[in-house]
Amino acid sequence: MTRRVAWFDVTTPADRQAFHAYRTAVRALAPAGLTDVVARPGAYYAVWQPVAGTPLEEFLAQPVKPEETVEAVRHLAARLAIHNFAVSDADIVVEGHEPRVAYLRPVTRTPDDIALLNAPTLAALSGGRVRPRRQPGAWLSFVPGLLFLGGAVYLGAQAAQIYLNPPVQEVVSVTGKEAKEATQQLVRAGYRVQYTEGQAGSLPIGSIIRQDPAGGTSLPVGRLITLTVNNPPAIQVPRVEEMTLAQAKAALKDGALTLGKVLKVDGTLTNTAVGHVIAQIPQPGAQTQPGQSVQVMVSTGVQGKDTWIPNLTGMTYEQARDHVRAAGLVVTQVREKPSDEPENSVLEQTPSPYVRVAVGSPVTLTVATARYSPPTQPAGSLPLPPVYVPPTPTAPEEAPEDPSAAPTDSPATGPTGPETAPAPTPQEIPATPPVTGPSPAPEPPPSAELPTSSVSFNYQFPEDLPDGTYTVVVRDADGERVVLAPTEAGQLRGATATSDNALTVRGSAVFVIRRDGAEYATVNP
């Protein structure tokens, strides 16, 4: 048999209140098509079954209508209006002379709306000819009336006796039971039941926390018993996507939730690293009850994704490194080779150009360094400047006593004069003897063996992380290695990135975070 389900999306207290109002209304109306009304965290719905009969629209179109059916429809319309429903809000069928509700839509009407919507239906009831009820044997109608009156007097007396002196019995304890089961047990015992909501972390959702009066109390039949149902306020599901399984479990535990079923799926399409959560159910931000489980899908890693690099020969090292990063590869080794090409330019590369390799594979670059060549001929002697000789000071001449007397001594001129001292000749540095045979190449200084150590990466990405593609590498004396494959910023905002295993490095190491190939941040281990 086909069933019809009315599902309710209950995410706020107002939605929950509207659902409980609907449930109260359908239980009071007792529609023929209602099978069950379910109210559990994350599952609020009503189940309806088909009801045989003539649809109300066809009945209203009949030219002659039975009087008892018309009155029954009007009575049903009044009952619907009491619970804020119009006749058009229900699917009504007529079986015999009785109108039956096959389905009731979850809406809320005002009295003015109900009067406006019911007007066409009530007008159709009054239209056409109404066939009065048959009254065979009218002269004997007083006999049933007398019998009914006598029975009513008797039943009234019995009811008064029971009401004034109801039997007293012990109230059964229903604490810890499911609300529906507890209610049925108390109703069968003759009591009335009403609900209030409470919260208890040690009991399942929907179970009875306490009852008033308590179990074991002597209470007259027909009295009211109040049951407190465990229905804590809804909480918000945290976001565990991009976290590791351990991180997701801790985050759910902090939010009073539990980790449910774990599904492992391929992370290639989402480019999600192995062991990280790809998706979750319920979605982040959804409302749920404490203690509920959250299912997660965990990546098995990026599989079968290839890439390639172009010909890097002739590029500078920085340009070649950017091309390698854009292709999803990592420069792990840089070799130097003496060459006549421009210094720091790429001479060779591994892998070769346009060869397809897996994403994250290592790349080795050979770059040019200045070529050393010893001088072909020894340098000659270098002349030295002349020796500095300070000038000889001269005494001033004295004036003669007799101005007529001529000086007897006069300086000699010409070839008989004093000879000028020859200028000193520069000294020479003896030339270096020529070197015979090829000159030996200089030996490189011995490099000290660098120590190795183990480091781990741990970094909290900010909530306002700029858009782009981020890559994390570790840099040490041997070059660079990938720690985090290229990942979009939307998957990293607010997340904590950690390395699954300790990394072995040589010498000093640093973690470099790059955004679209450019350095964004560095993290010291």
Residue 495 amino acid letter:
A
Stretch 386-414: mean pLDDT? 56
Phi, psi angles (nearest 5°) of residue 22:
-65, -45
pLDDT above 50 (res 354): yes
Looking at residue 9, its pLDDT comes to: 82
Among 35-49, 58-72, 110-124, 138-152, name the one with the lowest average pLDDT.
Answer: 138-152
On the question of pLDDT at 375 being above 70, the answer is: no
Alpha carbon distances (Å) from 133 to 66, 138, 149, 431? 7, 12, 22, 147
SS (H, E, C) 338-364: EECCCCCEEEEEECCCCCCEECCCEEE
Mean pLDDT of the chain: 80
pLDDT tens-place string over residues 108-134: 888 888 888 888 888 887 776 666 765
The strand pair at 34-40 and 54-55 is best described as unpaired
Tens of pLDDT, residues 140-177:
555 566 666 766 766 666 655 555 567 888 888 998 88
pTM of the model: 0.29
Band (426; pLDDT cuts 50, 70, 90): very low
Which has more confidence, 151 or 370? 370
The secondary structure of 205-217 as a DSSP string is TTBEEEEESPTT-
Query: Higher pLDDT residue, 399 or 52?
Result: 52
Report residue 363's pLDDT band, with 50, 70 and 90 as the boundaries.
very high
